Structure 1
Amino acid sequence: MRDRINASLPAGLVSRVIDLEKRKGITRSAIVEAALESFLSPDGSDMQEAAFTRRLDRLSRQASRIERDLHITTETLALFVRFWLTITPPLDPDANTSAQVKGRERFEGFVEVLGQRLQSGDRFFNEIPEDIKRDESAPKPPGSDGA
């Protein structure tokens, strides 16, 4: 369905529409319709701004995930180091050489398992829920008193 609109235009603009009508072989209505469509549709800068906004939103979400993963990594390492230092007794000087050999074996095993997990696509972060509901009755970890 089409509706009729009567509009008053300056004489110079009307003559330009008539010239275009003759050159292109299209109707005045088609010319005015195309001009209105162009005027009413988002222009290049609006479309570009929308694309930038989407891209910035995506980058913001990626930065948030990286920040979360870094926080988990830091906390995991800190807990491991604290645990390891707490349970590892000092060595006798005589046992130092055998401990170094055993340590190298364990490290090689660790690197092998790590390589297998990385190749398989298994990720430690995937095992951690996004939102862990904290039990308020549970003791708070050291250093998390909000200070």
Structure 2
Amino acid sequence: MKIRQNLYIDRELAEALQALAAGEAGNKSRLVNDAIRDWLERRGAKEIDDLLKRRLDRLGREIGHTRRDIEVLLESLSLFIRYQLMVTAPLPEGDAAAIAVGQARFDKFVSQVARQIASEHRTLGETSDTGKIS
């Protein structure tokens, strides 16, 4: 069912509408109907875009904070490794006992990291002694 509307539009728009309707685009009613439908759909999309924009802005800030935290952790780790390598004497090549102790400590370290990653338990900020590697 269609409803008749009496509308007033600017002369320039009326001439452009007449030119469009004279071509292969169709009649004036269909052109105006399509234009109004498109405008209303864009208006609804704008409201959704505004909601998504706020959420994306928040996510962008969180990603920025996460990136900063990762950079701090990587810099801390690299400084620790450099310090450790500078102050720790290398093991003598023939000292199998020291090499075995070092390998056992490394294996324990790797398994502790794997356990904590799997359990989502983090040592950073922990105040008890349960996160210590012996």
TMscore range, shorter length: 0.5 to 0.7
Q: Is 2:44 the partner of 1:44?
A: yes
Alpha-carbon separation, structure 1, partners of 2:110 and 2:77: 16
Aligned length: 90
Shift of 1:78: 1.4
Tell me the equivalent position of 2:103.
Answer: 104
Alpha-carbon separation, structure 2, partners of 1:100 and 1:72: 32
Alpha-carbon separation, structure 2, partners of 1:60 and 1:124: 27
**For residue 101 of structure 2, what is the amino acid of its counterpart?**
K
Alpha-carbon separation, structure 2, partners of 1:104 and 1:66: 33
| 1:37-88, Cα deviation, whole Å (9 max, x unpaired) | xx8xx93132122133123213312321321222122122112212211221
Q: Kindly indicate whether the alpha-carbon contact (under 8 Å) linking 2:91 and 2:99 is maintained by their aligned counterparts in 1.
A: no
Shift of 1:110: 0.7
Tell me the equivalent position of 2:63.
Answer: 63
Query: Which has the higher relative contact order, 1 or 2, with Cα contacts under 8 A spaced 6 or more apart?
Result: 1
- Identity rate of aligned residues, in percent? 31
**For residue 51 of structure 1, what is the amino acid of its counterpart?**
L
Alpha-carbon separation, structure 2, partners of 1:76 and 1:88: 18
Residues 111 and 82 (structure 1 numbering): CA distance in 2 closer, same or farther, change over 3 Å? same
TM-score normalized by the length of structure 1: 0.48
Shift of 1:117: 1.9
Tell me how large the CA RMSD over aligned residues is. Answer: 3.0
Alpha-carbon separation, structure 2, partners of 1:124 and 1:60: 27
Alpha-carbon separation, structure 2, partners of 1:124 and 1:65: 20
Shift of 1:109: 0.7
Q: Kindly indicate whether the alpha-carbon contact (under 8 Å) linking 2:116 and 2:122 is maintained by their aligned counterparts in 1.
A: yes
Q: Is 2:116 the partner of 1:121?
A: no
TM-score normalized by the length of structure 2: 0.52
Match of 2:6 among 1, 12, 18: 12
